[in-house]
Amino acid sequence: MFRSTINTKSMLHTNDRIMVSVAIPAYNEEDCIADCLRSIARQQTSAKVEAIVCLNACTDHTAHVAIKVAEEEGLDLKLVDEPLKGIARARQRAFEEASGDIIVSADADSQYPTNWIERIVAAFDRNQRTALIYGPVYFSRIRGVTGTVMRYAYPVIDFVITQFDRITKHPNVRGPNFAVDRETFEDVNGFNVALEAFEDNDIAWRVAKLRGHRALHYDRHLAVHSSARRYNYYGLWKAVHYYTVGYFKTFLLKKNMGKFQDVRISP
């Protein structure tokens, strides 16, 4: 059980300077983490910002790279360790170590526009009922035919899927781009660490169940860019099949999809 020492809901709607924690799970991300952290360090926001990188059984130089970037950029960085492999476990550990009134979920292979955090803070401030904010994730550096298809088709497909999920009340939330207030995160008891994947969708569904679907806010302009390494590795159709089967297996059949294969190639 989590314990909160502050009333975050009340703090979000005062003139106090908000603390925002950016939680980043990382398994052998030495090739990606620098660009991610630089984009966080260069946020144009009035909020106080900290980054928490959870080293998830890393065997490379992720920690060294992260420390170096934080020193160069003046970023408030906290490194924590989660020896048991798993994206849900790593995300949970990073969230648990967060000090912020708002906890933002990010990925090490993603990069963030300079107004990302300020836009999140403003959305929470506009509506006291808001508990979770999310936006689209677009892919960069996609090779070959897959790249051509994804570049033009994916934004349309993503928009259609997101609107369908909003209508059916199953929010299409992705790990690299959502934020939740601390009180709500604690009230839903965090991530389901038993899941090998789709922990992002799962927590969003539970937030919607607890707070109501109108407590979730989708901002189509809150866009971030993530590497397409899994699509590059599998190819378009195999990757789509992988995610589709995993999604239905997890949420309709209530079965774990099994081990989520790691793809750690340069973005």
State the pLDDT at residue 120: 98
Mean pLDDT of 6-25: 70
Reported confidence tier of residue 249, pLDDT bands at 50, 70, 90: confident
Cβ-contact 20, 52 below 8 angstroms: no
Rounded CA gap, 58 and 30, in Å? 9
> In whole angstroms, how large is the CA radius of gyration of the chain?
17
State the pLDDT at residue 171: 80
Is residue 165 over pLDDT 70? Answer: no
- Total-model pTM: 0.85
State the pLDDT at residue 5: 33
State the pLDDT at residue 152: 66
Is residue 126 over pLDDT 70? Answer: yes
Mean pLDDT of 101-122: 97
Is residue 143 over pLDDT 60? Answer: yes
What three-state secondary structure class fits 110?
A: strand
State the pLDDT at residue 17: 83
Q: How far is CA 78 from CA 24, 63, 93, 98, 248, in A?
A: 10, 10, 12, 9, 36
Rounded CA gap, 46 and 239, in Å? 39
Domains of the chain: 9-138+173-229 (3.90.550.10)
Q: Name the token pair of 221.
A: 């302009």
Q: How far is CA 228 from CA 78, 139, 258, 264, in A?
A: 27, 5, 22, 11
Is residue 136 over pLDDT 70? Answer: yes
Rounded CA gap, 151 and 139, in Å? 8
Q: Average pLDDT of the chain?
A: 85
- Residues paired with residue 24 on neighbouring β-strands, in sequence order: 53
User: What's the pLDDT tens digit per position in 66-75?
Assistant: 999 999 999 9
Rounded CA gap, 245 and 92, in Å? 24
